[in-house]
Amino acid sequence: MIDYLFANNEIKGWIFDLDGVITDTARYHYLAWKKLADEENLIFDEKINEKLRGISRRASLEIILRGKTFPEDKIEQMMARKNSYYCEFLNELSEENILPGIMPLLNNLKFLGIKMAIGSASRNTEFILEHLGIGHYFDGVASGSFVVRAKPAPDVFIHAAGQLGLPVADCVVVEDAEAGVNGAKGAGFRTIGIGPADRVGQADLRLDSTENLKDLIS
Ligand code: B16
Ligand code: MG
């Protein structure tokens, strides 16, 4: 598997998902959705939150609403409210919130001259990178702000590969969400899944934790 991923050193670009790979903001998403759900008398718990991994803001709200319908202006207002709660939590983010193994990997890839990009569903990508202080590592930043179709559509990764000036076959995508791995794999990227097999087992290489990433390149 590792041979397939790294054969002939032909990986020229690494595309990283943000939430769940570079940093773990799932708790903040949970607390912000929970506050909104409580205000709106909607049932929401950590189990439902797990389904929102890698899913866009709108698709997340649709899952929480469970078929309940609202006028578009109310939907927009609820998404904005959730995001304002979420951004309050994001203000607490710092380099201490970068997941284990990420900094050694980014430094090694930079040293080797391998291009790197972010491919995230989050419209808060730039804000998060700024708080983490690692924006300068990336030659491209593709996010939910730039593409119409959210994951599992591969658009955000294809946009990232385009920013790197590389064909998809030369890039590996690192993802923690089933939707992200499926989207990237279906588009011809090589994939590394972070997390349990029942979530990212379909990736070309699955690792339990970001900590294991640093052993791939040294
Ligand atoms: P926002 P990723 C995703 O980020 C999160 O995993 C997902 O839970 C969230 O709903 C989505 O971003 C949209 O985030 O509300 O900040 O635009 O994993 O693709 O980096
Ligand atoms: Mg993610």
Read off the pLDDT band of 4 (50, 70, 90).
low
Report which bound ligand comes closest to the CA of 29.
1
Q: Check if 155 is active-site.
A: no
CA 181 to ligand 2 center in whole angstroms: 10
- In order of their start, the domains of the chain are 2-23+98-215 (3.40.50.1000), 26-90 (1.10.150.240)
């955000």: which residue's tokens?
156
Does the pLDDT at position 85 exceed 60? yes
Cα–Cα distance measured from residue 59 to residue 188, given in angstroms and rounded to the nearest whole number: 24
Dump pLDDT digits (tens) for 28-38: 999 999 999 99
Q: Please state whether the predicted TM-score (pTM) of the whole model is above 0.85.
A: yes
Q: Which residues are close to ligand 2, an ion, with C-beta < 5 A?
A: 17, 19-20, 54, 176-177
Does the pLDDT at position 17 exceed 90? yes
Dump pLDDT digits (tens) for 62-84: 999 999 999 999 999 999 999 99
Report which bound ligand comes closest to the CA of 174.
2
Q: Specify the range with the lowest mean pLDDT, choosing from 4-8, 24-28, 104-108.
A: 4-8
Q: Nearest Cα to 102, choosing from 137, 56, 64, 66?
A: 137
Q: Check if 19 is active-site.
A: yes
Contacts of 151 (CB under 8 A, 6+ apart): 54, 55, 56, 121, 177, 179, 180, 183
Residue with CA at minimum distance from ligand 1 atom 6 = 54
């990508």: which residue's tokens?
125
CA 95 to ligand 2 center in whole angstroms: 18
